[in-house]
Amino acid sequence: MLNPSVRTIVRTGLLTIIFFVSAAASAQDAESAAESFSVVLLPDTQNYSEKYPDTYVAQALWIRQQAKQDNIKFVIHLGDIVQKPTQKPEWENADRAMRLLDGVVPYSMAPGNHDMVLNNRDSTLYNQYYSPKRFAGRKWYGGHMGETNDNNYCFFEASGMKFMIINLEFAPRDETLDWAAGITEKYPDHRVIVATHCYMRPKQRDTSCATSYKIAGNSGEQIWQKLIRKQPNIFLVVSGHVLGVGMQTSVNDAGGKVLEMLTDYQGLPNGGDGWLRSLKFVPAENKIHVKTYSPVLDRENTATKESFSLDYPMTTANSKSD
């Protein structure tokens, strides 16, 4: 039997150990909450799927390589995966590249105008390769609208925050926007990113996504009026479709800031030279640092419109600005 003095020392030592472990755990939690992380945007890969498949593969391999170092939490494809929606070889090229991310980094897809036969919105091949079944086993995949994956939503968590990505069809129809509103309202504690192929132009929201193609649907401006501005937890909208880059900050009906971003390089040499965008979220600074990089050229574009920082509060329960 231990004498009282030894027993006291042991108990005191145990309490001391517990105290140190608890303090270390608290420090670790605080560090985790302030940890930086990244979201990668894959804009308009149509030319790569058609003519430069190695470039698409190079983008995917770079994401794999950087996944741990950059703490990449999610990859968002901005639509126009292929050039011709009925050409199976293009879909096979795209699939070969995207499968390099399977089990490595979560990713989402949204069909662009080149990913469907527009006159009847036939997305057969898109759904052959990116059907709900492809993502059904992934815990980060939330679900889809109807029977296809033309409209879907996904989740990720980072630095103590919950995020949701809602991916919408090209020129989404009114019923699609109603569905998206319902999903957003179902998860009021999530910070929401909306991805849709056609939304922004370099200097303002698009006003002709649907009318230019003579189909029923909504333009970027209509998406803003009918969906984005009414949902207080949507803080970022990302799109492609229009060659160039654009960035603006708007204020929603709840007084929160909404970041609206265009990213599209398809008109550059070699189908786009592999340029993609990395959004680095830094909670300690309440900023998102945007970087444009090409794994093919192995260089960053440091131009003002391509490399910049955005204010984004990450210290409150929602994305509404103070």
Q: What is the distance between the alpha carbons of residues 320 and 186, in angstroms, rounded to a whole number?
A: 18
Please tell me the distance from the alpha carbon of residue 109 to that of residue 152, in angstroms, as a whole number. Answer: 8
pLDDT value of residue 315: 76
List all residues 6 or more positions away from 244 whose beta carbon is below 8 Å from its beta carbon. Answer: 201, 202, 262, 264
Nearest alpha-carbon partner for 77 in 18, 129, 122: 129
3-class SS of residue 163: strand
Mean of per-residue pLDDT scores for the chain: 90
pLDDT score for 217: 98
2 pLDDT higher than 60: no
Q: State the DSSP code for 198.
A: S
The residue among 49, 168, 48 whose CA lies nearest residue 109 is: 168
CATH number given to 36-311: 3.60.21.10
Tally Cβ neighbours within 10 Å of residue 30: 11
Amino acid at 55: T
pLDDT score, position 219? 98
The residue type at 188: P
Q: Are residues 283 and 34 in contact, defined by beta-carbon separation less than 8 angstroms?
A: yes
**C-beta atoms surrounding 128 within 10 Å:** 12
| Longest pairwise C-alpha distance within the chain | 90
Q: What is the pLDDT of residues 29-49, one digit of tens each?
A: 444 557 999 999 999 999 999
Domain ranges of the chain: 36-311
Please name which of 61, 140, 106, 71 lies closest in space to residue 281, comparing C-alpha atoms.
Answer: 71
pLDDT of residue 30: 45
Q: How confident is the model at residue 5 (pLDDT cuts 50, 70, 90)?
A: very low
Q: What are 47-103's pLDDT values in tens digits?
A: 999 999 999 999 999 999 999 999 999 999 999 999 999 999 999 999 999 999 999
pTM score, two decimals?
0.89
Which string of b and e fits 288-310 if b means at least 16 CB within 10 Å? bbbbbbbbbeeeebeeeebeeeb
Rounded distance, CA 177 to CA 175, Å?
Answer: 5
Give the DSSP per-residue string, 273-321.
TT-EEEEEEETTTTEEEEEEEETTTTEEE-STTTSEEEE---SSSSS--
* Residue 233 DSSP label: T
Mean pLDDT of 212-227: 97
Contacts with 157 (C-beta within 8 Å, 6 or more apart), sequence order? 73, 163
What number is the average pLDDT over the span 195-204? 98
Pairing of strands 308-311, 299-301: unpaired
Q: Does 167 have pLDDT greater than 50? A: yes
Whether 246 and 261 have beta carbons less than 8 Å apart is answered as yes
Give the CA distances from residue 219 to residues 34, 194, 203, 239, in Å, rounded to whole numbers and listed in that order: 37, 14, 15, 12
pLDDT at 171: 98
pLDDT exceeds 60 at position 308 = yes
Percentage of the chain with pLDDT > 70?
88
Q: Which residue has the higher pLDDT, 13 or 170?
A: 170
Judge contact between 78 and 239, C-beta under 8 A.
yes
pLDDT at 8: 34
* CA–CA separation, 53 and 256 (whole Å): 41
Look-up: residue for tokens 């179902």? 186
* Residue (of 196, 193, 216, 246) closest to 79 by Cα position: 196
Per-residue pLDDT at 320 exceeds 60? no
